[in-house]
Structure 1
Amino acid sequence: MTATRRVSAEGRSFLYGHEGVVLRAYRCAAGDLTIGAGLTTASGVVTVKPGMTITAEENDRLVDLALSKNYVPGVLKALGSSASQDALDGGTSFHYNTGAIGRASWVKDFRAGNSAGTRKGLAAWKKGGGKVLPGLVRRRAEEADVILLGKYPHWVMKGVTARPADHVLFATFVVSVTPGEIEAIRTGFRSIGFEPGAVTGKVTRVAVEAFQKAYDLSVDAKIGRATLSTLQREIDARSKAKTAVTTTAVSTPVAAGAGEAATNVDPYTIDLTALPDTAGLWLGGAVLAAGLLYGAWLAWHYRDMIAVRLAPRFPKTAAFLRSF
């Protein structure tokens, strides 16, 4: 009987370095409750609930279960049952992140021994939300190195923690990040009112702990997946809230009458004043209704962000919003 293939210790370390390991449930950037190394209820190995916590050992067990149940079989089917350990490790990282190894074009090149085609095909999987993400560009390049060369990043062996002396003043990054990504993170904190400090490449411990406390995260001065996802959700919520305000503002002049100037109308929108009175009123009402519905959806989708604002004065309401 053939022994069951598993991801190696180095492969799991590589996966954890990109996914992060968070032992308390949080909402990812898309709003899904997540725990451990990127595990959601959809993983089929855990039901994630608000406020839930797990141990590091439980995370390892759940990840191993998810890998053996949902990912390793698909990787071996795609790459071949005789694929090297390095190919299994790198391919599993790709599949864990995308769920798409069964349809990825680079697999055909890999099986044909075309290294250049494999690397180019992997590099194409670099977008999230329709835009190129630097973190995915780097992850795909590192996966290619693991799959093709058996070359793991240096942090797989030595970890991704900061030097001990840094712990006094600065937060610790517990996911793999580049200098450019750190600067983007610093800019993100600053944009929402948490000053990251003047030292390039670092974020002050005080700023991160204040952010974590305000957003009901574990206050540990560790910048990992939960902190980064929450930061992204706050930035997204603010951006989309501005869109919702603009949408409802566009329709406002219609209510004043067909003969008044629509001063808030974007030059690329329909000129409501050029329509018959009844049509203008109807369309204006429809735009307003759409704006209100969009605003209601935003309030639901970002209820955890609303909870942050309510917590100081209405802690019970904030707790309720965070409970589901």
Structure 2
Amino acid sequence: MQTSDLGVRALILEEGDVLRAYRCPAGKWTIGPGLTAASGVVVPKPGMVITKAESARLTKLALARNYEPAVTAALPGAKQHEFDAGISFHWNTGAIRKASWVPLWVKKAARPLIEAKFRQWNKGAGKVLPGLMKRRERELAILFDAKYPVSSEPKSKSVSVARWALPMTIVEKANVVASLHVLGYRGGTADQLPAYEVRRFQSDHGLTADGIIGRATLSTLQRRLDAAAKAKPAAAAATAAPAAAAGGSATDITDQIAGASWALPLLAGAAVLWCAWLTWQYRDVIAVKLNARAPKVAAWLRSL
């Protein structure tokens, strides 16, 4: 089977359609509706820009190669809307072959049983995510009721207010606004976030500065937050070794390790390697910090 036009539109609504390459939270170059080099249909690179037509072509190619055969095999005899729901689920999770709701659907089990298993796929990094909970409900509506989601954004909206390109809860939007505030991009609420502040964030990070909060902006924001969170233990590790070597106070564990003279070089070396790894892993974040003073260096870091 093939994904219907409604199914593709629903998928794009969930994933977004980013026409300029960006790094996902894991650091992989991504373009279109979440296409990475692993898709086998495109190799996103720094500065790559594609058209909507090309994104649509690549999406259909990725569906045909990587997703539609698996969903066809997993959901034999599926109606079009059931197949489209399976595609959205598999694109997001990659788990159509092992999800426990699938054999229940094949056996035509009661709807509540299938829904209960389907809703279990609501976690990211071990945490229940409100966005995934909402997505599973939208996919269930497609699966059982042939009810496809539509964009909730008003057709006309002030260009001075940022627009949300993906379905998000009010709590998720508030968290995004709070995170932008922490990074120095201030003003407004979830429904009245100034577009110029979003454009400033996008411009600082090499994104398309359109004031639209979509997948690329959210992924880049997450990388900034992850880098800040990981920098704290890295800084602590970097200072622990000199402190231990000098007989100063660190944590109890560090003091115990430092009691053995052979461990001091290992402790210092591990701290240096950890900091070096973080520097490489988040070189795009460092580029933002250097952009004003050393734009050429920043551009070079982004190109790596």
Of 68, 73, 80 in structure 2, the residue corresponding to residue 85 of structure 1 is 80
* C-alpha distance in structure 2 between counterparts of 1:108 and 1:9, whole Å: 26
Q: Which amino acid aligns with 2:302?
A: R
8 Å contact from structure 1 (residues 16, 175) kept in 2: no
> Within 5 A, what are the aligned runs for 1:1-80?
5-80=1-76
Q: TM-score, normalised by structure 2?
A: 0.94
* C-alpha distance in structure 1 between counterparts of 2:125 and 2:143, whole Å: 26
Q: TM-score, normalised by structure 1?
A: 0.89
Of 262, 269, 272 in structure 1, the residue corresponding to residue 255 of structure 2 is 272
Structure 1 unaligned spans of 5+: none
* C-alpha distance in structure 2 between counterparts of 1:141 and 1:296, whole Å: 42
The 1:177/1:271 distance shift into structure 2, 3 A limit, reads closer
2:298 aligns to what? 318
Structure 2 unaligned spans of 5+: none
2:108 aligns to what? 113
Of 224, 241, 249 in structure 2, the residue corresponding to residue 251 of structure 1 is 241
* C-alpha distance in structure 1 between counterparts of 2:70 and 2:134, whole Å: 23
Q: Deviations over 1:132-175 (max 9, x none)?
A: 2221111112112211222223x2xxx344442332x2111111
Q: Deviations over 1:82-112 (max 9, x none)?
A: 1011111111011111111111111011112
The 1:293/1:317 distance shift into structure 2, 3 A limit, reads same
Instruction: Quote the RMSD (CA, aligned, Å).
Output: 1.7
8 Å contact from structure 2 (residues 33, 59) kept in 1: yes
> Within 5 A, what are the aligned runs for 1:1-324?
5-80=1-76, 82-114=77-109, 115-153=111-149, 155=150, 159-167=151-159, 169-197=160-188, 199-257=189-247, 260=248, 262=249, 264-265=250-251, 269-270=252-253, 272-273=255-256, 277=259, 279=260, 281-324=261-304
Q: Which amino acid aligns with 2:157?
A: A
Identity of aligned residues (%): 43
Secondary structure of the structure 2 residue equivalent to 1:117: helix
Secondary structure of the structure 2 residue equivalent to 1:164: coil
* C-alpha distance in structure 1 between counterparts of 2:199 and 2:193, whole Å: 10
Q: Deviations over 1:202-249 (max 9, x none)?
A: 321111011011111111111111111001100111111112112223
The 1:284/1:201 distance shift into structure 2, 3 A limit, reads farther
Q: CA deviation at 1:276?
A: 8.3
8 Å contact from structure 2 (residues 245, 264) kept in 1: yes
* C-alpha distance in structure 2 between counterparts of 1:57 and 1:172, whole Å: 23
Secondary structure of the structure 2 residue equivalent to 1:25: strand
* C-alpha distance in structure 2 between counterparts of 1:191 and 1:163, whole Å: 31
Across the two proteins, how many residue pairs are aligned to each other? 303
8 Å contact from structure 2 (residues 245, 258) kept in 1: no
* C-alpha distance in structure 1 between counterparts of 2:113 and 2:268, whole Å: 50
Q: CA deviation at 1:118?
A: 1.7
